[in-house]
Amino acid sequence: MKIHKYDTVIVGAGGAGMRAAIEATKLSRTAVLTKLYPTRSHTGAAQGGMAAALANVEDDNWEWHTFDTVKGGDYLVDQDAAEILAKEAIDAVLDLEKMGLPFNRTPDGTIDQRRFGGHSRNHGEAPVRRSCYAADRTGHMILQTLYQNCVKEGVEFFNEFYVLDQLLVEEDGVKKSAGVVAYELATGEIHVFQAKSVIYASGGTGKFFKVTSNAHTLTGDGQAACYRRGLPLEDMEFFQFHPTGIWRMGILLTEGARGEGGILRNKDGERFMEKYAPVMKDLASRDVVSRSIYTEIREGRGCGPAGDHVYLDLTHLPPEQLDAKLPDITEFARTYLGIEPYTDPIPIQPTAHYAMGGIPTNVEGEVLADNTTVVPGLYAAGEVACVSVHGANRLGTNSLLDINVFGKRSGIAAAKYAHANDYVALPENPAQQVIDLVERLRDSTGNERVADLRLELQETMDACVMVFRTEQTIKTAVEKIAELRERYKNVSVQDKGKRFNTDLLEAIELGNLLDLAEVMAVSALARKESRGGHYREDYPNRDDVNFMRHTMAYREVGDDGKDSVRLDYKPVVVTRYQPMERKY
Amino acid sequence: MATPTLSKTDAMEAAAAASPFITVTFRIRRFNPEISDEAQWQDFQIEIDPKERVLDGLHKIKWDLDGTLTFRRSCAHGICGSDAMRINGKNRLACKTLIKDINPEKPITIEAIKGLTVMKDLVVDMEPFFQAYRDVMPFLVTTGNEPTRERLQSAEDRERFDDTTKCILCAACTSSCPVFWNDGQYFGPAAIVNAHRFIFDSRDEAGEQRLEILNDKDGVWRCRTTFNCTDACPRGIEVTKAIQEVKRALITRRF
Ligand SMILES: Cc1cc2nc3c(=O)[nH]c(=O)nc-3n(C[C@H](O)[C@H](O)[C@H](O)COP(=O)(O)OP(=O)(O)OC[C@H]3O[C@@H](n4cnc5c(N)ncnc54)[C@H](O)[C@@H]3O)c2cc1C
Ligand code: SF4
Ligand code: FES
């Protein structure tokens, strides 16, 4: 075991982690621990764009953006946070441009902007061009630009280090962060990083679904590490299903495709979104479009032999426009489906895409231990966190924005905290929990296999807690997850070595997914209403009287050693906008 | 507007629905110094739909047959650059190569990319590769006061370096280059591609410095224009052309 000491430790080198690192490195001795090489992070997969009311191509302002964000999130958004997001968006985009990001340009040389779902002029009048983009590679450009600037600033990275535990120590009755414990992939060695402040920026948790746009590595490690140490997770029942994933594979085809004029059609060639969202049509918010697609499929208007998908039609767009604006996604269709998008429609289905919930933080990125108390020295930003700027449904282009705005804020806040405060003494045997976990899995002779359990989990989640949910389906999921968690105790790995043991790490990642799936299902069961990404067929309406509040899920361990999820609730911050019915 | 013709899509859907599995042999170069200093080939037979990716095949092996098989991967759709490997003697991304496109009748050979030290199975030490990248100053350098708004750039100036912005640092190019195999000191195509991305960016002011770095004995002049890199690049970047443009800029000092 090795012990390291840093002022600030950042967990994750995606957009949020590297944006934080660029700030924190200037102010404090900073280490970035990442399980992937920074440029492998899934921020690089983001396509469509990053929202900011620059008003470069048409009238726009941050207040309209705030409203759209609140409405898009079905009024579960904390409005003070949404206002910060929309206001600071403008500088966030300009910062990136100054760091070198090659945005697409207007004829006058300013940053070009395009339409995206749910973003509107003057509180819903018509779609507005608010998304700043670089073809359909905006996330790639953000990730590259941030990495380039980390190289420029000399940020210190520990690549292929998996953070597996969060150290919390009680001092004067307050739980404080003392550091993290990490596993080094190359050697199997365990490292303790003592740090004055820790920022989680470890991304999402989409891999508990089967059809998903998320990378294999998005397994909610950060959420799980904090949750196991008794910290709450907020709004985990809210997961976004993006309307246009490649049929069966889940690979994303950006909403930018519809922003450029692409149309969804059923088997009769009908532009069905006109029925469901007369104004915004194909650019209504994602939860609305995903439900509409499944309604078409259920009512027998799906395409293909099994009628299990619909089409994204780009054939009416000029090939030059597709080449210039959507080169990557058209290539995905060619590579993975053998389809030519110039002439043929692309089969799509909703794909599990984005975790709205996560580790609760305030607007400085400070992690909350309950509804109001912060954990000194602990921060979170990006998809792992829940500020909450996305509420019950995130608008497209608001996450690349989120990672930049709150990545920067948490980087500054954490470094300042590290300046003003001393180290918290490490607990005795700080690495014990991780050592036990690793040894148990490596030495186990149990007869359960990681791949089997993971597949069963994914199939359960797809069937039971996807776009449509009912009491019955969620209960089925809760029971199945409980069974899988039990069987997980008998999981064993074949690779018993220390060197690059990805077999072992997949087993650990599965443990995280199982814990988080349980939290999601239990939270969803208790929310007896429909709001944003959480749609209950047995409670089809939003219920502001009983449920306009955030879910806070805690892990509780009983006297018998068994753990369970305890739910509590937190009020939503409302400033300007009273809840209204959501129409697009 | 007319209902689009569904011919090609129809055919694809029908084929997908039929989902014909075939038996394929993956012949993989295994190496684990914890067990042996020798690398050796090992054959695995799997049932797979030919429209699946080589990466899906590797997962089938790892998940169902042999958990010790080790490779890197993340996004599974050609965007993160984790899984460049030599497949049937050519550098490719396992997640962007479909079984049907590489003749599944014969055993499919899979080994680590060349020129970088193999750590275990298909995993190589990427550090020298990233070091070369960091050495070319891969970041925008500007002087003077920052403008309050964005820097202006015409669409044409933006287009000038578009191709080289697509790089995902997968190392398929560098590890397919015979010059790099012989001498790991050579910067390699990927580093030059990333220098190109800034040299030809109208906003950047450090082109001269980068050119001097690449003028070094281990720089662009080592390139012998074999085009392996261009063939290997999964992002379709015209790598050789980018290297030629850097060479030309070194001669004319115009960029
Ligand atoms: C296909 C796709 C397209 C998208 N398009 C858009 C878009 O157009 N606009 C938009 O706004 N949003 C988009 N999103 C959403 C957005 O891209 C993501 O939410 C965002 O990039 C997440 O960034 P992040 O920094 O939080 O996490 P990530 O980029 O996922 O980074 C996570 C980091 O954490 C590290 N990590 C994870 N676990 C550990 C651990 N245990 N120890 C150490 N390190 C760890 C990883 O190595 C990685 O570096 C898209 C998402 C997807 C999947
Ligand atoms: S130039 Fe192409 S092959 Fe080379 S590292 Fe970049 S993406 Fe990979
Ligand atoms: S797994 Fe990301 S490029 Fe292949």
pLDDT in tens, A156-168: 999 999 999 999 9
Interface probe with A: pick from B1, B5, B9, most Cβ of A within 10 Å: B9
What is the pLDDT of chain A when averaged over all its residues? 97
B contacts of A495 (beta carbons < 8 Å):
67-68, 70
Q: Contact B150/A98, CB-based, under 8 Å?
A: yes
* CA B118 – CA B110 distance, rounded (Å): 13
**Rg of the Cα atoms in chain B:** 21
Q: Are A93 and A138 in contact (CB under 8 A)?
A: no
Is the predicted pLDDT of residue B239 greater than 50, yes or no?
yes
**Edge-to-edge strands, sheet with B40-48:** B40-48, B22-30, B108-111, B84-87, B90-93
Q: Are B174 and B96 in contact (CB under 8 A)?
A: no
Closest Cβ opposite residue B1 in set A40, A316, A499: A316
Nearest CA to A548 among A423, A391, A314, A338? A391
Q: Return the ligand 2 atom nearest residue B169 CA.
A: 5
> Ligand 2 pocket check: which of B114, B116, B186, B239 to mutate, most ligand atoms within 8 Å of Cβ?
B239
In tens, the pLDDT along A286-298 reads 999 999 999 999 9
Closest Cβ opposite residue A347 in set B3, B9, B66: B9
Determine whether the shortest distance from the Cβ of A492 to ligand 1 is under 6 A.
no
ipTM: 0.96
Quote the ligand 2 centre to B234 CA distance (angstroms): 7
Nearest CA to B13 among A251, A304, A330? A304
Is the predicted pLDDT of residue A75 greater than 60, yes or no?
yes
Of the candidate ranges A52-56, A511-515, B41-45, B249-253, the one whose mean pLDDT is the lowest = B249-253
* CA B82 – CA A418 distance, rounded (Å): 34
Q: Could you say which DSSP state residue A425 is in?
A: P
Compute how many other C-beta atoms are within 10 angstroms of the C-beta atom of residue A88.
Answer: 19
Q: Are A570 and A549 in contact (CB under 8 A)?
A: yes
**Quick check: A342 contacting B, CB < 8 Å?**
no
In tens, the pLDDT along B133-163 reads 999 999 999 999 989 999 999 999 999 999 9
Q: Contact A110/B98, CB-based, under 8 Å?
A: no
Q: How close, in Å, is residue B142 to chain A by CA atoms?
A: 9
Mean pLDDT for A12-25 is: 98
Active-site residue flag, A536: no
Determine the residue of chain A that is closest to B81 in CA distance: A40
**Centroid of chain to Cα A111:** 26
Determine the residue of chain B that is closest to A101 in CA distance: B140
Distances (CA, A) of A400 to A96, A140, A397: 11, 11, 6
Determine the residue of chain B that is closest to A454 in CA distance: B63
* CA-CA-CA-CA torsion sign (A455, A458, A459, A460): positive
Interface probe with A: pick from B54, B127, B140, B202, most Cβ of A within 10 Å: B140
Which numbered ligand comes closest to the C-alpha of A147?
1
Which residues, 6 or more positions from B179, have their beta carbon under 8 angstroms from its beta carbon?
A: B186, B222, B223, B224
**Quick check: A325 contacting B, CB < 8 Å?**
no
**Rg of the Cα atoms in chain A:** 23
Which numbered ligand comes closest to the C-alpha of B129?
2
At A252, give phi and psi (nearest 5°). Answer: -75, 140
Interface probe with B: pick from A211, A216, A249, A312, most Cβ of B within 10 Å: A216
* CA A568 – CA A570 distance, rounded (Å): 7
Q: Exposed, middle or buried, B23 (CB in 10 Å: 0-12/13-18/19+)?
A: exposed
In tens, the pLDDT along B66-94 reads 999 999 999 999 999 999 999 999 999 99
pLDDT bin (cut points 50, 70, 90) of residue A563 is: very high
* CA A400 – CA A408 distance, rounded (Å): 12
Is the predicted pLDDT of residue A50 greater than 50, yes or no?
yes
Q: What's the pLDDT at A323?
A: 94
Full-prediction pTM beyond 0.90? yes
B contacts of A157 (beta carbons < 8 Å):
none
Mean pLDDT for A325-338 is: 95
**Edge-to-edge strands, sheet with A549-557:** A233-234, A549-557, A563-571
Q: What's the pLDDT at A442?
A: 95
**Centroid of chain to Cα A474:** 21
Q: Contact A315/B4, CB-based, under 8 Å?
A: yes
Please give the torsion angle defined by the CA atoms of residues A434, A499, A150 and B253, in that order, rounded to the nearest 10 degrees: 180
Kindly state the helix (H) or strand (E) to which residue A263 belongs, with its residue range: strand A263-265
Ligand 2 binding site (Cβ under 6 Å of any ligand atom)? B 167-173, 189-190, 193, 232-233, 235, 237, 239
Q: Which two tokens stand for residue A306?
A: 């099994």
Is the predicted pLDDT of residue B48 greater than 90, yes or no?
yes
Quote the ligand 2 centre to B43 CA distance (angstroms): 29
Q: What's the pLDDT at B1?
A: 43
Closest Cβ opposite residue B68 in set A137, A248, A494: A494
Mean pLDDT for A268-292 is: 94
Q: Contact A134/B165, CB-based, under 8 Å?
A: yes
pLDDT bin (cut points 50, 70, 90) of residue B20 is: confident
Is the predicted pLDDT of residue B3 greater than 90, yes or no?
no
Q: Pick the catalytic residue: A114, A228, A286, A454?
A: A286
Mean pLDDT for B115-138 is: 97
Q: What's the pLDDT at A104?
A: 97
B contacts of A494 (beta carbons < 8 Å):
66-68
Determine the residue of chain A that is closest to B135 in CA distance: A151
Q: Which two tokens stand for residue B197?
A: 């991305």
Nearest CA to B234 among B68, B60, B53? B53
Is the predicted pLDDT of residue B7 greater than 80, yes or no?
no
Q: Which two tokens stand for residue A552?
A: 């806070």
In tens, the pLDDT along A388-433 reads 999 999 999 999 999 999 999 999 999 999 999 999 999 999 999 9
Q: Could you say which DSSP state residue A539 is in?
A: B
Q: Are A262 and A317 in contact (CB under 8 A)?
A: yes
Determine whether the shortest distance from the Cβ of A403 to ligand 1 is under 6 A.
yes
Q: What's the pLDDT at A275?
A: 96
Q: How close, in Å, is residue B252 to chain A by CA atoms?
A: 25
Is the predicted pLDDT of residue A451 greater than 70, yes or no?
yes
- Helix (H), strand (E), coil (C) string for chain B: CCCCCCHHHHHHHHHHHHCCCEEEEEEEEECCCCCCCCCEEEEEEEEECCCCEHHHHHHHHHHHHCCCCCCCCCCCCCCCCCCEEEECCEEEEHHHCEHHHHCCCCCEEEECCCCCCEEECCEECCHHHHHHHHHCCCCCCCCCCCCCCCCCCCHHHHHHCHHHHCCCCCCCCHHHCHHHHHCCCCCCHHHHHHHHHHHCCCCCCCHHHHHHHHCCCCCHHHCCCCCHHHHHCCCCCCHHHHHHHHHHHHHHCCC
Is the predicted pLDDT of residue A300 greater than 70, yes or no?
yes
pLDDT bin (cut points 50, 70, 90) of residue B218 is: confident
Determine whether the shortest distance from the Cβ of A382 to ligand 1 is under 6 A.
yes
Q: Contact B12/A37, CB-based, under 8 Å?
A: no
Q: How many CB pairs under 8 A join A and B?
A: 187
Closest Cβ opposite residue A97 in set B34, B62, B150: B150
pLDDT bin (cut points 50, 70, 90) of residue B5 is: low
Q: Contact B8/A140, CB-based, under 8 Å?
A: no
Determine the residue of chain A that is closest to B83 in CA distance: A40
